[in-house]
């Protein structure tokens, strides 16, 4: 049987794996090769259709008595098999993340190797959940678990096939912008520069000085003229259409990887509804941010938009607009290092019955992101996204943390007991893209005892963030090809809900369906994503029960 990857014809199941598994990183690629033989899974030329039972429980509490009623709802998922030609348009393509992503894709695409003082380096996609991580499918005849790359569970676009483009307030060509970023080794920069130069100069972007730090003004030399936000919106929409047409694309993912903005004020009559937001754009209202304007442009063009920065791009009006147009949105803020670790360690402590009393986080970095965050209002956006990461762990264990008081009509007052959680970020130019993070977890243990865990974490910021952009782009494209129907309630298949909360694993402050709980636990986020991908091919989610190993 052969599978189509959308750009390179058909590839047979015995084609060698690429990338992170132990073969040469530029070896021939093999897309989706799993074949599920089950009455729950149907393959045809166009789709994979699967049956899935969403198992859960309805819980009621009456006078302290808890009643649990198990339930199972039957769904069908239908995934389009053909991976169309996909473009990635980044806002901030000339920044550290944007240039690093372009250069590393080009290095992988062209098989560029380079020398460092440690020796010869080869391109790869280490750090990508989809390209460098595996899932267990079950056990083989000899009782051993069989693991496959996540990217092989369903047909997904390969990073090497992405068509790259985007906007930037700086007009530096991408080869010069890469040099300015000072992220990649010189020998790699030297070899990839001619390929970067062919990508040319970023498209002009929009610059509203009130939204990013004043220290960014000197970079702002590549701007869409004027102050008319409606005209800016139409300009951006035209850019998206032209990029899609010129490159013969089936799908374009629009990705914000530009500077962190200040938070927008939520003002009734301005950005609280879709119609008010569109009217605010027509009137060039001051509380329409650049990122929100780009998001609206993508929504109106029915192309997915992902926000990789911490500001509140998705004001209520933007979410409502996405719902109205059944467009896809996701965010906020890339979860690359310190916060990802925090979402694991805080869960570990709480699940172990240990009570964190305080979590203090300090960071310093010297890249342009750090420079922008040295401004108070931009730092505040980052502080908010970093500070909420332990909330769901705390709310899940009210044995350790007192619940909030209940006011009139059963409405909770405040957040209840919560660890002291402090976040500090400082700009230190000398360290460049190498970010230093120091965390202290101070906890209560048995009978009034105390435990302190101190962690020092040093990472190359953009080299951790770049694979996340790839994962978010690839996963977003996949989710646009998945439809569902609830058996006995829906006749026709429908697209997924507009807010792609399945992207949460890669995001600090996950955007979710209004009125639903945010899950920050990294393990739960990973399990949700893995279970969903398996559901789309008719497989049950992972079970660590391993029942056959525990019985006679």
**DSSP code per residue over 156-202:** ---GGG-EEEEEESS---HHHHHHHHT-S-HHHHHHHHHHHHHH-SP
Looking at residue 374, its pLDDT comes to 66
Q: Which of residues 145 and 9 earns the better pLDDT score?
A: 145
| Distance in angstroms (rounded) separating the CA atoms of residues 426 and 232 | 34
| Coarse DSSP helix, strand, coil percentages of the chain, rounded to the nearest 5 percent | 35, 25, 40
Percent of the chain scoring above 90 in pLDDT: 65
First-residue to last-residue Cα distance in the chain: 39
Mean pLDDT of all residues in 150-156:
94
Q: Where are the domains of the chain?
A: 3-80, 86-334+464-534, 338-460
Looking at residue 340, its pLDDT comes to 85
Mean pLDDT of all residues in 175-201:
96
| Distance in angstroms (rounded) separating the CA atoms of residues 288 and 498 | 21
Looking at residue 114, its pLDDT comes to 97
Phi/psi for 458 (5° steps) reads -120, 130
Looking at residue 6, its pLDDT comes to 31
The CB density around residue 185, as the number of other CB atoms within 10 Å, is: 13
Res 15 pLDDT > 60: no
Looking at residue 29, its pLDDT comes to 55
Looking at residue 472, its pLDDT comes to 97
Res 17 pLDDT > 50: no
Res 26 pLDDT > 60: no
Q: Give me the residue label for tokens 């009130």.
A: 210
321: tokens are 């607009």
Looking at residue 267, its pLDDT comes to 95
- Element housing 323 (H / E): helix 316-325
Instruction: Tell me the pLDDT tens digit for each residue of 29-78.
Output: 555 568 899 999 999 999 999 999 999 999 998 888 999 999 999 999 99
Name the nearest CA neighbour of 382 among 309, 314, 441, 431.
309
| Distance in angstroms (rounded) separating the CA atoms of residues 207 and 297 | 16
Question: Would you tell me which CATH number, out of the four given (3.30.360.10, 3.40.50.970, 3.40.50.150, 3.40.50.620), belongs to the domain 338-460?
Answer: 3.30.360.10
Query: How many helices (H) and strands (E) would you count in the chain?
Result: 14, 23
Mean pLDDT of all residues in 288-298:
97
125: tokens are 């996609």
Looking at residue 8, its pLDDT comes to 30
| Mean pLDDT, rounded, of the chain | 88
Looking at residue 226, its pLDDT comes to 94
pLDDT class for 273, splitting at 50, 70, 90? very high
Name the nearest CA neighbour of 482 among 502, 468, 467.
502
Looking at residue 533, its pLDDT comes to 96
Looking at residue 185, its pLDDT comes to 95
| Distance in angstroms (rounded) separating the CA atoms of residues 37 and 533 | 16
- Cis amide prior to 332 (ω within 30 degrees): yes
| Distance in angstroms (rounded) separating the CA atoms of residues 335 and 139 | 32
Mean pLDDT of all residues in 440-447:
95
pLDDT class for 543, splitting at 50, 70, 90? confident
Mean pLDDT of all residues in 263-284:
96
Q: What is the residue-wise DSSP string for 358-372?
A: EEEEEEEE-SHHHHH
Q: Which of residues 37 and 7 earns the better pLDDT score?
A: 37
Residue 117 a catalytic site member: no
CA atoms within 13 A on the CB side of 442: 11
Which fold is adopted by the domain 86-334+464-534?
Rossmann fold (3.40.50)
Q: Residues of 148-171 as b/e, b for ≥16 C-beta within 10 angstroms?
A: ebbbbbbbbbbbbbbbbbbbbbbb
Q: Which of 386, 435, 439, 471 is catalytic?
A: 435
Res 366 pLDDT > 90: no
| Distance in angstroms (rounded) separating the CA atoms of residues 99 and 114 | 17
Looking at residue 7, its pLDDT comes to 33
| Distance in angstroms (rounded) separating the CA atoms of residues 410 and 401 | 19
Question: Which range (70-79, 249-258, 486-495) has the least confidence?
Answer: 486-495
Res 211 pLDDT > 50: yes
The CB density around residue 112, as the number of other CB atoms within 10 Å, is: 20
Q: Which of 229, 340, 508, 534 is catalytic?
A: 508
Q: Which of 333, 392, 439, 461 is catalytic?
A: 333
Residue 210 a catalytic site member: no
Res 96 pLDDT > 70: yes
Mean pLDDT of all residues in 86-97:
96
Instruction: Answer for the pair 415, 391: CB distance below 8 angstroms, yes or no.
Output: yes
Looking at residue 19, its pLDDT comes to 29
Looking at residue 385, its pLDDT comes to 59
| Distance in angstroms (rounded) separating the CA atoms of residues 262 and 265 | 9
Q: Give me the residue label for tokens 């500077």.
A: 259
Q: Which of residues 344 and 87 earns the better pLDDT score?
A: 87
Mean pLDDT of all residues in 239-246:
98
- Element housing 436 (H / E): strand 434-444
| Distance in angstroms (rounded) separating the CA atoms of residues 223 and 234 | 14
Instruction: Answer for the pair 26, 19: CB distance below 8 angstroms, yes or no.
Output: no
pLDDT class for 392, splitting at 50, 70, 90? confident
| Distance in angstroms (rounded) separating the CA atoms of residues 294 and 378 | 19
CA 379 to chain centre: 20
Res 484 pLDDT > 80: yes
Residue 80 a catalytic site member: no
Question: Which range (18-27, 38-47, 222-231, 250-259) has the least confidence?
Answer: 18-27
Res 383 pLDDT > 80: no
Looking at residue 539, its pLDDT comes to 92
pLDDT class for 20, splitting at 50, 70, 90? very low
Q: Which of 382, 439, 461, 534 is catalytic?
A: 382
Mean pLDDT of all residues in 179-191:
96
Res 550 pLDDT > 80: no
| Distance in angstroms (rounded) separating the CA atoms of residues 221 and 265 | 27
Looking at residue 375, its pLDDT comes to 66
Residue 409 a catalytic site member: no
Res 23 pLDDT > 90: no
Mean pLDDT of all residues in 167-182:
96
| Distance in angstroms (rounded) separating the CA atoms of residues 64 and 126 | 50
Q: Which of residues 319 and 543 earns the better pLDDT score?
A: 319
Q: What is the residue-wise DSSP string for 215-268?
A: GGGGG--SB--SS-HHHHHHHHHHHHHHHHHHTT-SEEEEEE-SPPPPPPP--T
Instruction: Tell me the pLDDT tens digit for each residue of 454-465.
Output: 999 888 888 999
Nearest 5°: the CA angle 442, 395, 350 is 40
Instruction: Tell me the pLDDT tens digit for each residue of 108-142.
Output: 999 999 999 999 999 999 999 999 999 999 888 88
Nearest 5°: the CA angle 293, 498, 251 is 70
């Amino acid at each position: 049987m052969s599978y189509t990857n959308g750009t390179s014809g058909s590839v047979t199941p015995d084609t060698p794996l690429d990338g992170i598994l132990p073969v040469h990183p530029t070896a021939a690629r093999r897309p989706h090769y799993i074949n599920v033989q089950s009455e729950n899974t149907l393959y045809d030329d166009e789709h994979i259709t699967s049956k899935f039972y969403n198992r859960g429980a309805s819980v009621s509490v009456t006078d302290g008595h808890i009643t649990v009623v198990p339930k199972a709802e039957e769904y069908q998922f239908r995934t389009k098999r053909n991976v169309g030609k996909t473009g990635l348009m980044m806002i901030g393509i000339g920044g550290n993340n944007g240039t690093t992503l372009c250069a590393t894709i080009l290095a992988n695409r062209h098989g560029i190797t380079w020398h460092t003082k440690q020796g010869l380096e080869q391109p790869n996609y280490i750090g990508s959940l989809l390209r460098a991580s595996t899932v267990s499918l079950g056990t083989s005849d000899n009782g051993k678990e069989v693991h496959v790359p996540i990217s092989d569970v369903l047909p997904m676009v390969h990073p090497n096939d992405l068509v790259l483009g985007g906007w930037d307030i700086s007009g530096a060509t991408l080869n010069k912008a890469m040099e300015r970023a000072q992220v990649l080794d010189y020998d790699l920069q030297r070899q990839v520069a001619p390929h970067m130069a062919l990508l040319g100069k970023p498209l002009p972007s929009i610059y509203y000085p009130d939204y990013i730090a004043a220290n960014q003004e000197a970079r702002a030399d590549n701007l869409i003229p004027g102050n008319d936000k409606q005209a800016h919106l139409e300009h951006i929409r035209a850019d998206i259409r032209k990029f899609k047409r010129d490159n013969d694309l089936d799908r374009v993912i629009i990705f914000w990887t530009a500077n962190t903005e200040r938070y927008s004020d939520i003002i009734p009559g301005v950005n609280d509804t879709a119609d008010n937001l569109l009217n605010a754009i027509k009137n060039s209202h001051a509380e329409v941010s650049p990122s929100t304007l780009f998001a609206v442009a993508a929504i109106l063009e029915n192309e997915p938009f992902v926000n990789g920065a911490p500001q509140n791009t998705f004001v209520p009006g933007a979410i409502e607009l996405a719902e109205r147009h059944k467009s896809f949105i996701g965010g906020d803020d890339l979860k690359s290092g310190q916060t990802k670790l925090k979402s694991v360690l805080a869960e570990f402590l709480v699940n172990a019955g240990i009570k964190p009393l305080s979590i203090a986080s300090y960071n310093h970095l010297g890249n342009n992101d750090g420079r922008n965050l040295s401004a108070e209002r931009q730092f505040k956006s980052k502080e908010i996204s970093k500070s909420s990461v332990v909330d769901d762990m705390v709310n899940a264990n009210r044995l350790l943390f007192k619940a909030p008081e209940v006011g009139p009509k059963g409405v909770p007052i405040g957040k209840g007991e919560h660890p002291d959680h402090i976040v500090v970020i400082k700009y230190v130019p000398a360290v460049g893209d190498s970010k230093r993070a120091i965390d202290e977890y101070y906890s209560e243990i048995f009978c009034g005892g105390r435990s302190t865990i101190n962690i020092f974490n040093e990472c190359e910021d953009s080299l951790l963030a770049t694979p996340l952009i790839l994962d978010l782009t690839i996963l977003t494209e996949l989710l646009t090809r998945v439809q569902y129907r609830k058996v006995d309630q829906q006749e026709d298949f429908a697209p997924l809900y507009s807010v792609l909360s399945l992207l949460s694993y890669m995001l600090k402050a996950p955007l979710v369906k209004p009125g639903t709980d945010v899950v920050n636990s990294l393990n739960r986020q990973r399990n949700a994503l893995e279970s969903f991908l398996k559901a789309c091919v008719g497989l049950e989610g992972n079970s660590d029960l391993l029942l056959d190993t525990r019985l006679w």
